[in-house]
Amino acid sequence: MHHCARAWGLYRPAAMRVLGIETSCDETAAAVVDADRRILAERLFSQTREHAPYGGVVPEIAARAHLDRLDALVGETMGEAGLGFADLDGIAAAAGPGLIGGLLVGATAAKAMALASGRPFLAVNHLEAHALTARLTDGLDFPYLLLLVSGGHTQLLAVEGVGRYRLYGETEDDALGEAFDKAARLLGLGFPGGPAVEKAAEAGDPARFRLPRPLAGRPGAGFSFSGLKTALRRAAEALPAPGEQDVADLAASFQAAAADTLADRTANAAAMFRRDCPAGRMLVAAGGVAANRHLRARLQEVAAAHGLVFAAPPPRLCTDNAAMVAWAGLERLRLGGRDGLDFRPRPRWPLVSANGAP
Ligand code: KG4
Ligand code: ZN
C-alpha cells in the first residue's frame, strides 16, 4: 500500500516538524511548525497581569510563571497538533538573549524532551528567531534588509542567510520598545507600553509638540532614543494639569518622532543594502515594535522610495511567540545544525555572533 502510493506519486514524507519554546521575557509560548511554513499548533500565555502591578517585567516572577505554565502549554500544543514527540524532527528553545531565569526554564525543558525522545535540541538565538520570521510568514528568500525593533534591541542589518548577518547600525542607548514603554509610564498609560501609546496616539495631534528626531540627517544607520525620551518628559512636565487630549497629543507627537527617526535611518541602511546586496528586494520589519501600524505605514513609504518592497509578519508574530523559535530551529536543523545538551543559555547573545560565528 505504501509502495503503491509512492509509485503513483501520492506518497510524500511528512515535512520536517519542529517544536519551539519561548521563555526569554514575559511570554510563555510553545508552537509546532513544519517545513511547508505551516504553524500546526501554538499556545501563548502573556504574563501581563503578573507584572502589571510593578509597571515592568520582574525577572524572578517571570521565571516562576514560566515554570508554572510551560508543561501544560507544551502538552496542549502537541495535543492540538495531534503529534507525539516521536513525530518531531527537533526541539528548539530560545536560549538567549533574555532574562536568565526564563531562559533556563525553557532551554532545560527542551533539553529534557530532546533527551527523552532522542530528538536533536536546538538552542535558538531569540533575535535570529525575530529575524527569520518573515520567511515563515511570507516565504521570503535571502537577502533582505531587516529593521529589528523590540524591547531590548533596535538595529538595521542585512540578512544574507541563516547565521549570516551584516550589521549596519544599532542603538547607542535605549531600544525603541523600551522608549515606548517609558513614554507610556510617563504618560500614565500603563503596561505594556507600546500598544497603549499607539492606542492613545490615534486621537492625538502629532504636530502639537516638536520633539527631536535623534540623529536624523546624519550619515549612518545608528539610533539614539534617550534625547527623545527626555524631550517628551519636558513637554509633559510643562503642562500644568495634562488632560486626556494632552496625553493623546503627546503620544502622537512621540510616535511621529519615532517614525521619522526610523524612516531616516532605514533610508540610509537601504542605500548600504543596495550596494552590498544588489539582488535584494525586500525591507522587513520584525520585533514587538514592528506591530505598530503607524510605524509600518512609514516603513512602507521608505521601502517604496528606495525600490524595495516592505514586508512584516502579522502583529501577533512580531511580538514574542514560539512559532518564530520553532521556525528558526527548523531553518538551522535542515542545514544540519543542532546543539549539545550542555549548551548554556546566554543573557547576552549578539546576533552577529549567532550560531557559531565568532
Ligand atoms: O519582541 P518583543 O515582544 O519582546 C522583546 O524581545 O523585547 O517586543 C516587546 C516590545 C515592548 O517594548 C513593547 O512595548 C513593544 O515591543 N511593542 C510596541 C507595540 N507592541 C509591542 N511598540 C509600539 N507599538 C506597538 N503596537
Ligand atoms: Zn523579542
The pLDDT tens digits of the residues spanning 322-343 come to 999 999 999 999 999 999 999 9
Ligand 1: which atom is nearest the Cα of residue 318? 1
Question: Which amino acid makes up residue 323?
Answer: A
Q: Which of 186, 187, 191, 182 minimizes the C-alpha distance to 203?
A: 187
Say what the pLDDT of residue 10 is. Answer: 66
pLDDT average, residue stretch 15-35? 98
Contact between residue 132 and residue 324 where contact means Cβ atoms under 8 Å apart: yes
Say what the pLDDT of residue 6 is. Answer: 53
Dist. CA 283 → ligand 2 center (Å): 19
Q: Does the pLDDT value for residue 191 go beyond 60?
A: yes
CA pair distance 48, 137, nearest whole angstrom: 26
Dist. CA 320 → ligand 2 center (Å): 5
Question: pLDDT digits over 45-65, tens only?
Answer: 999 999 989 888 999 999 999
Say what the pLDDT of residue 158 is. Answer: 98
Dist. CA 7 → ligand 1 center (Å): 50
pTM: predicted TM-score of the whole model, two decimal places? 0.94
CA pair distance 209, 252, nearest whole angstrom: 9
User: How much of the chain, in percent, has pLDDT values that exceed 90?
Assistant: 92
Dist. CA 281 → ligand 2 center (Å): 25
Q: Which of 191, 187, 180, 188 minimizes the C-alpha distance to 154?
A: 180
Q: Does the pLDDT value for residue 97 go beyond 90?
A: yes
Q: Does the pLDDT value for residue 2 go beyond 60?
A: no
pLDDT band at 354 (very low <50, low <70, confident <90, very high): very low
pLDDT band at 7 (very low <50, low <70, confident <90, very high): low
Question: pLDDT digits over 200-220, tens only?
Answer: 999 999 999 999 999 999 999
Which of 6 and 153 is assigned the larger pLDDT? 153
Say what the pLDDT of residue 87 is. Answer: 97
Pocket test for ligand 1, best of 155, 180, 185 (most atoms within 8 A of CB): 180
Q: Does the pLDDT value for residue 196 go beyond 50?
A: yes
Q: Which of 182, 296, 151 minimizes the C-alpha distance to 250?
A: 182
Mean pLDDT for the chain overall: 95
Nearest ligand (C-alpha, residue 316): 1
Q: Whose CA is nearest to atom 19 of ligand 1?
A: 194
Say what the pLDDT of residue 352 is. Answer: 83
Question: pLDDT digits over 274-309, tens only?
Answer: 999 999 999 999 999 999 999 999 999 999 999 999
Q: Does the pLDDT value for residue 263 go beyond 90?
A: yes
pLDDT band at 3 (very low <50, low <70, confident <90, very high): low
Question: pLDDT digits over 231-247, tens only?
Answer: 999 999 999 999 999 99
Ligand 1 lining (C-beta closer than 6 Å):
25, 150-152, 177-178, 180-181, 192-195, 198, 287-289, 291-292, 319-320
Pocket test for ligand 1, best of 46, 319, 320 (most atoms within 8 A of CB): 319
How crowded is residue 154: how many other Cβ atoms within 10 Å of its Cβ?
29
Q: Which domains does the chain have, with CATH numbers?
A: 17-131+317-333 (3.30.420.40), 143-314 (3.30.420.40)
pLDDT band at 353 (very low <50, low <70, confident <90, very high): low
pLDDT average, residue stretch 331-357? 87
Say what the pLDDT of residue 61 is. Answer: 97
Dist. CA 353 → ligand 2 center (Å): 17
Q: Whose CA is nearest to atom 16 of ligand 1?
A: 288
Say what the pLDDT of residue 358 is. Answer: 34
pLDDT average, residue stretch 17-24? 98
Say what the pLDDT of residue 226 is. Answer: 94
Say what the pLDDT of residue 190 is. Answer: 87
Which of 109 and 14 is assigned the larger pLDDT? 109
